Amino acid sequence: MIDRDLPLKKRISDNITRLRTARGWTQLKLSEKSGISKSTLSDYINCRTLISPGNVEKLSEAFGVPKSEIDPSFKQTEEKPTNLIPIAPMTVPVPILGTIACEDPLLDEQNFKGYRYESPDTLPSGNVFYLETKGDSMEPTIPDGSHVLIREQPEVEYGQIAAVLVNGDIEATLKRVRKQGDYIMLMPDNPIHSPIIVDENNPARIIGKAVRVTRDLS
């Protein structure tokens, strides 16, 4: 059976031997100073057992050195600065797409504005992107200049906000989707704007569901 702890055991053994020898101590002397039995010390030095955290502390006190000088696995916790702001262990880039210009498709490079970095735990499943909004048609729900997280999907439930391609797939709009018989109404939240009627004469295509709104404070 492979001993996966053997490399660490060897490092600890070498460290104990080096520190003991530098002080001219015998194993008996080290046992007396640390309060660890001679047989237990022998197990550590001969790589038979992995040292316990409690005994690492006893040896560090006996030698007058940091615990990482005994067991290197303590190095990260001992040397970590206390004034660091914790960050997520992993983030993923979510592309930001701007408003559509001329006849560029939504996912064209010219509409790429950069990335927002998010923790995977905060994102829905599937493909996602941020859409940079322009205009006040969805205020107060979505203020002008916000970033709206979009989950790519071809349909949404009645009343949900969707990113919709209109005008021959060259313009993106965020509206609430309401199906009414043979046509669909794309409803703004701002009452000063009129709904967009989608039918065979004015087709549109849903590209995703609005999941979250974020806005950077200036």
201 and 119, same structural domain? yes
Q: Which of 94-98, 105-109, 121-125, 152-156 has the lowest mean pLDDT?
A: 105-109
- Asked, for residue 87, whether it belongs to a domain, the answer is no
- Asked, for residue 207, whether it belongs to a domain, the answer is yes
202 and 101, same structural domain? yes
Q: Euclidean distance between the first and final Cα of the chain, in Å?
A: 60
Instruction: Answer with the one of 53, 79, 105 that is the final residue of a domain.
Output: 79
Q: Which of 34-48, 74-88, 125-139, 163-177 has the lowest mean pLDDT?
A: 74-88
110 and 18, same structural domain? no
Once rounded to an integer, what is the mean pLDDT over residues 145-163? 93
- Asked, for residue 84, whether it belongs to a domain, the answer is no
Once rounded to an integer, what is the mean pLDDT over residues 27-36? 93
pLDDT for position 91 = 80
184 and 116, same structural domain? yes
Band (90; pLDDT cuts 50, 70, 90): confident
Tell whether omega for the bond before 140 is within 30 degrees of 0, i.e. cis: yes
106 and 72, same structural domain? no
CA dihedral 181, 184, 189, 193 (to 10 degrees): -110
Residues with catalytic annotation? Answer: 137, 175
175 and 99, same structural domain? yes
- What's the total number of domains in the chain? 2
- Asked, for residue 45, whether it belongs to a domain, the answer is yes
Residues above pLDDT 70, as percent of the chain: 84
pLDDT tens track for 44-59: 999 888 898 889 999 9
Q: Does residue 102 or residue 183 have the better pLDDT? A: 183
pLDDT for position 118 = 87
CA dihedral 78, 84, 85, 90 (to 10 degrees): -60
pLDDT at 87 over 60: no
pLDDT for position 110 = 54
Q: Which of 15-24, 97-106, 168-177 has the lowest mean pLDDT?
A: 97-106
Q: By residue range, what is the domain housing residue 209?
A: 92-214
Round the average pLDDT of the chain to a whole number and report it.
84
190 and 109, same structural domain? yes
Residues above pLDDT 90, as percent of the chain: 44
Pairing of strands 92-97, 128-132: parallel
pLDDT at 78 over 60: no
Once rounded to an integer, what is the mean pLDDT over residues 9-34? 92
Q: Does residue 100 or residue 12 have the better pLDDT? A: 12
Pairing of strands 161-166, 205-214: antiparallel
Q: What's the token pair of residue 113?
A: 């504005």
182 and 116, same structural domain? yes
Instruction: Answer with the one of 79, 104, 138 that is the final residue of a domain.
Output: 79
- Asked, for residue 86, whether it belongs to a domain, the answer is no
pTM above 0.75, yes or no: no
pLDDT for position 132 = 86
Q: For the domain that residue 52 is a member of, what is the CATH number?
A: 1.10.260.40
- Asked, for residue 37, whether it belongs to a domain, the answer is yes
